Structure 1
Amino acid sequence: MKKAIVIGSRESKLAVIQSQMVISYLEEKRPDLELKLLTMKTTGDKILDQTLDKIGGKGLFVKELDKALLDKKSDVSVHSLKDMPMQIPKELPIIGFSKREDPRDVLILPKGRKQLDFKDPIGCSSRRRMLQLKELFPKAQFQSIRGNVLTRLEKLDHGKYGALILAAAGMKRLGLEERISRYFTIEEILPAPGQGILALQGREGEDYSYLDDFLDQESAYAAIAERAFVKELDGGCSSPTAAYAQVTGDRIFLTGLYYNEESKKYYKGSMEDKVENAKILGIRLAECLGGKKDGHR
């Protein structure tokens, strides 16, 4: 009799595609397993008329999935790492991370439009993006937008926004790469911590060795450094932060951005270290930028 493994996922099309990536891998590598997908609508998916910082932050995207794990209705949850809160329950650890998809942010224009028109607001889901976009587009106006990628695209094409800023990873996984009008470089817009990486979460003490070959060590080092940077700054939805780490051989290079709410300035800098010091590197860069009096770019 095959061992049953239930994969928990948000019910959006993108979340299901991402979970199916894990299922497809296991179907090929582990035919001895019986695989099932359990989808659910999270609190963060239901409340779309308020920004995340006003309704409880990123934890609203994982609460129902966490409960399913604790109740043993599911065995593994698949998340976009950038949507996961910094505090992870000890009993529900992150098992590991997927190979990283394109980490960049992208510009999406309404169907048929070739140029950005500043008379309409740019739909943008995070202050991290807005702060950096103001440097690129001083004339632009921004308006918060919630909902899954397909919902946002529908609002864009119906004339509610002049453009959207989204993650390249989500557009590519949805097969919507042709909608991308411009890729922003990492230097132009530093991504959200973990952008492009999937996090797999399970129960403490259980054997998840069947996922070992799916998991990516370079992504793990990058995720650890980026999340340590944000956690040290106590960053989240209400405190704009950004971080991106690159691994080359046994070295890791981390760039971080921190916005100080009091001084209304942002601070950006980089450091590098050995990969085994990824967490320490994130903390050191956070201490450096968080303690600065005068910003630099």
Structure 2
Amino acid sequence: MTKEKIIIGTRKSELALWQAYYVKKEIEKKFRNIKVEIKKISTKGDKILDVSLSKIGDKGLFTKEIEKELLEGTIDIAVHSLKDLPTVLPKGLELAAVTKRHDVEDVLIAKKKKVTLESLPECATVATGSLRRASQILHLRPDIKVVDIRGNVQTRLKKFAASKWDGMILARAGLERLKLKKHISSIIPTYQILPAVGQGAIGIEITSKNKFAKEIAKGIHDKKTELTVTAERAFLNALGGGCQVPIGAYAELKSNGLYLSGFVGSPDGTITF
């Protein structure tokens, strides 16, 4: 290893920066002679906030601009929420590593503590920016009115606090990473709502020809997480899914093998598999 500096590319949101600094710390622990810099990059998904994700219909909504800088060589590695990274990557790029996975569940935010999906009032209003969540909520509770919400974690929390909505669904990992778990009313078990593919994991993307970045990525890779998210991403890839199709999956390693639970449904929750 001859280089002494590595540049991480990341989105600008607080959660994305938390993830980038987490990877930075892991690299510095493993490779003490390497200096790590972070470059903040705006993506299409960060700029278009008045249209639902399903209507934008771009699988690389939060990754394309970062991948462009990878290919141009202005950054060495890209750090993503793995759930945002398409299963088919641009030519010349590869998913080199995944870090140890955080908790995968979604959580319910409500005006009071200990409120669950079951205990929400009849015809309650619940906010989410995800077709996957909306479909599964409506399958469980057809009476619920689902409203769309966009923005980063803090923005969504502010919107919810100022609203008359009864609930909002977010990922547990994001709230806990940002030390915002006080807002969680209840954790939604995966048998009720399956998470997004790769939810809770951080993906490290590099160019295939960058041997230096590949060696760095290998040093912070978590094999157990790789096995589970690879199964989930294969499931998503087989269905050709993205933000326009409600798809969820969760793989678990057990003593006698790997178990994958999958979900695909209609946006209104009336049809689910």
Q: Structure 2 length normalisation: TM-score?
A: 0.91
Q: Distance in 1 between matches of 2:48 and 2:266?
A: 28
SS in 2 for 1:212: helix
Q: Alpha-carbon deviations, 1:238-286, whole Å to 9, x = none?
A: 111111100124721001112258x95111xxxxxxxxxxxxxxxxxxx
Q: Distance in 2 between matches of 1:216 and 1:134?
A: 35
Q: Alpha-carbon deviations, 1:63-122, whole Å to 9, x = none?
A: 110111111111001101111122211311110111110000000124x67654556621
Match of 2:182 in 1: 178
Asked if residue 98 in structure 1 is aligned to residue 78 in structure 2, the reply is no
Match of 1:276 in 2: none
Q: Is the 8 A contact 1:98 1:219 kept in 2?
A: yes
Counterpart AA for 1:209: E
Match of 1:78 in 2: 79
Q: Is the 8 A contact 2:106 2:195 kept in 1?
A: yes
Comparing 113-122 and 20-29, the one that deviates more: 113-122
SS in 2 for 1:183: strand
Q: Distance in 2 between matches of 1:162 and 1:119?
A: 10
Q: Is the 8 A contact 2:125 2:165 kept in 1?
A: yes
Counterpart AA for 1:147: G
Match of 2:143 in 1: 139
Shift of 1:161: 2.9
> Cα 1:42–1:24, aligned 2, differ >3 Å: closer, same or farther?
same
Counterpart AA for 2:195: P
SS in 2 for 1:232: helix
Asked if residue 221 in structure 1 is aligned to residue 222 in structure 2, the reply is no
**Residue correspondence of structure 1 range 51-62 to structure 2 within 5 A:** 51-62=52-63
Counterpart AA for 1:4: K
Asked if residue 161 in structure 1 is aligned to residue 165 in structure 2, the reply is yes
Comparing 91-100 and 126-135, the one that deviates more: 126-135
Match of 1:196 in 2: 200
Shift of 1:237: 1.3
Q: Is the 8 A contact 2:124 2:143 kept in 1?
A: no
Shift of 1:23: 0.4
Counterpart AA for 1:188: Q
Q: Structure 1 length normalisation: TM-score?
A: 0.84
Match of 1:256 in 2: 262
Q: Is the 8 A contact 1:118 1:141 kept in 2?
A: no
Q: Distance in 2 between matches of 1:93 and 1:2?
A: 21
Q: Distance in 2 between matches of 1:249 and 1:90?
A: 37
Match of 2:129 in 1: 125
How many equivalent residue pairs?
266
Match of 1:45 in 2: 46
Query: Percent identity between the aligned chains?
Result: 38
Counterpart AA for 1:65: I
Give structure 1 stretches of 5+ with no counterpart: 268-297
Match of 1:69 in 2: 70
Match of 1:293 in 2: none
Q: Is the 8 A contact 1:240 1:259 kept in 2?
A: yes
